[in-house]
Amino acid sequence: MKIAIIVFPGTNRENDIRAALVTAGVAASNLQLIWHRETAIPAATDLIVLPGGFSYGDYLRCGAMAAHSPIMREVKSAAARGVAVLGICNGFQILCESGLLPGVLLSNQGLKFVCREVELEVATNQSIYSRKMVKGHRLRAPVAHHDGNYFAAPEVLAELQDRDQIVFKYAADDNPNGSALNIAGIIDSSRRVLGLMPHLENATDPLAGGIAGRAMFDSILNG
């Protein structure tokens, strides 16, 4: 599998996702960092990753400026062709701001940056990102964000539920940001574009606290 990792000014998790993918079995030679000013993504790319960080310093709305970077035109085009796209934390914000996912990520309900482990629930395993998981299974993963409060109009939330597009939820008693329906991660209608706030890439090494995130990467690579 060939994977493109998009890097914006302020991205700081590109090496974390690289390490997680190598741990999952991806050859380092098949991982390519692509600067946001580029206007092309290799034709053979199977997965595009928008990693976490603070693109453009989180000025304006988080992800709003990155959504207009030159490379995002190609990300949208690739997604329309069926290329899988994964956005984590700031990447989720960028996917929403670019229109690849519905809704928006608002400031956390407590108006404070949250950096801790949370308990997640697998809401569906009917996606390329969760097919190696068990629906209803709970796992722990770290979050680190100030704007992770997922909001969408009631009709959008109802559609996400009806179409089984909510992939990950925060446990009802462990929602760190006030997200509607306890949403931690959603997919688009094609089921190939996923945005999630928790850093599952940082839950793949026992020395770093746990390996609960490995199941997502196993799903992507070995489904």
C-alpha closest to that of 166 among 194, 141, 185, 188: 185
Is 43 a residue whose pLDDT tops 90? no
Tell me the CA distances in angstroms from 118 to 139, 168, 177, 189, 212, one per residue in order: 8, 12, 11, 27, 12
- Alpha carbon distance 38, 221 (integer Å): 26
- Which one-letter DSSP state was computed for residue 204? S
Mean residue pLDDT across the chain: 96
Active site residues: 89, 199, 201
Segment 128-142 shows an average pLDDT of 96
Res. 211: pLDDT tops 90: yes
- Which CATH architecture does the domain made up of 3-222 adopt? 3-Layer(aba) Sandwich (3.40)
- Using an 8 Å Cβ cutoff, are 56 and 65 in contact? yes
* pTM of full prediction above 0.85: yes
pLDDT digits (tens, 9 = 90+) for 60-88: 889 999 999 999 999 999 999 999 999 99
Q: Is 161 helix (H, G, I), strand (E, B) or coil?
A: helix
Task: Please choose, from the candidates 104, 12, 21, 15, the residue with its C-alpha nearest in 3D space to the C-alpha of residue 52.
Answer: 12
pLDDT, one tens digit per residue, over 148-190 is 999 999 999 999 999 999 999 999 999 999 999 999 999 999 9
Residue 142, token pair as written in the block? 């770290």
> What is the chain's alpha carbon radius of gyration, rounded to the nearest angstrom?
16
pLDDT for res 56 = 94
pLDDT for position 45: 97
